[in-house]
Structure 1
Amino acid sequence: MKNFFTEFKNFAVKGNMIDMAIGIIIGTAFNNVVNVIVKKVALPPLSLLTDGVNFRNKKYVLREASEGVEEVAIAYGELIEVFIDFVIIAFTIFVVIKVMNRFKSKAEDPKDEAVETPKNIELLANIERLLEEQNTLLKKGE
């Protein structure tokens, strides 16, 4: 049992739990942004294109509601709305990651003077340059 608590303490202290918590918090905030983009930006023009159709209310009724009997229906409109949400969320995440990767690759390019290169990338670039010089000198000596 003591080993379990030691393992948990190491997990929590070494940053894994903190990284996970930060990811969840950012994910929740990003979810709010995406919801606004979907509901307030993307769906209104789509609604105009479809002549004001509200997808959420679209359904195929299998049995009408009557006294004491509930309606049985397939709510395909809600499925369409959720699918549109999914496509917009996937596209938004794709664009955000693409932009982040572009900035990351700029930061990792040691020849790019506009962005400060991280120290580990700079050191690796110097090692690569020195190895190329060494190989050039060795080829000349042959």
Structure 2
Amino acid sequence: MSMFKEFKEFAVRGNVVDMAVGIIIGGAFGTIVSSLVNDILMPPIGLLLGGVDFSDLFLVLKGDGPYATVVDAAADGAVTVNYGLFVNNVISFLIVAFAVFLLVKGINRLRRQQAEAPTPPTAPPEDILLLREIRDALRKER
């Protein structure tokens, strides 16, 4: 039973819950980045390069005839090197890496600001204030 109790304490600890939320949001962010790369960035880049669709750039290693798309090649059982999809994934990675860099940079800036901000002095406890009053009263009587 103690192992179950330890696991329960571990599972409900704040860090684990925060990590789970981060993983879920990260997965959703990955979907957004994939859409950004495939649907927003790559079409104009392809147009600038003469109407090239990066997702259809591939090299046939084994198979018959020219294929128009990767899907056609896969349907025919051809073995291909899909370097266009690799380029899309590299661009997705760079976007995610840059977004994480900006996030970490912002967090570090906030931490530095908090470290630089002086903490206001706390008021001494009442017993210390009372002892000081007694001390001052004794000094006046002398």
Partner Cα separation in structure 1 for residue 85 and residue 95 of structure 2: 15
Corresponding pairs, count: 112
Partner Cα separation in structure 1 for residue 32 and residue 114 of structure 2: 27
1:71 aligns with 2:78: yes
Whether the 8 Å contact between 2:43 and 2:53 is mirrored in structure 1 is no
Secondary structure class of the residue paired with 2:61: strand
Moved more, 27-36 or 45-54: 27-36
1:97 aligns with 2:104: yes
Matches for 1:1-142 after TM superposition, within 5 Å: 2-65=1-64, 70-110=77-117, 122=119
Partner of 2:139: none
Secondary structure class of the residue paired with 1:52: coil
Whether the 8 Å contact between 1:65 and 1:72 is mirrored in structure 2 is no
Moved more, 101-110 or 3-12: 101-110
The Cα offsets for residues 78-106 of structure 1, whole Å up to 9 and x where unpaired, read as 11221121122212221232233323433
Partner Cα separation in structure 2 for residue 64 and residue 29 of structure 1: 37
Secondary structure class of the residue paired with 1:102: helix
Partner Cα separation in structure 1 for residue 93 and residue 100 of structure 2: 10
Whether the 8 Å contact between 1:34 and 1:92 is mirrored in structure 2 is no
State the 1:4 CA deviation.
Answer: 1.2
Secondary structure class of the residue paired with 1:83: helix
Moved more, 69-78 or 32-41: 32-41
CA RMSD of aligned residues (A): 2.7
State the 1:39 CA deviation.
Answer: 2.8
Partner Cα separation in structure 2 for residue 41 and residue 99 of structure 1: 26
Partner Cα separation in structure 1 for residue 33 and residue 115 of structure 2: 29
Higher relative contact order (CA 8 A, sep 6+): 2
TM-score normalised by structure 2 residue count: 0.62
Which segments of 5 or more consecutive residues in structure 1 lack a partner in the other structure? 112-121, 127-142
Q: Which has the larger radius of gyration?
A: 2
Partner Cα separation in structure 2 for residue 84 and residue 64 of structure 1: 29
State the 1:57 CA deviation.
Answer: 0.9
Residues 105/94 of structure 1: CA separation in 2 closer, same or farther (3 Å cut): same
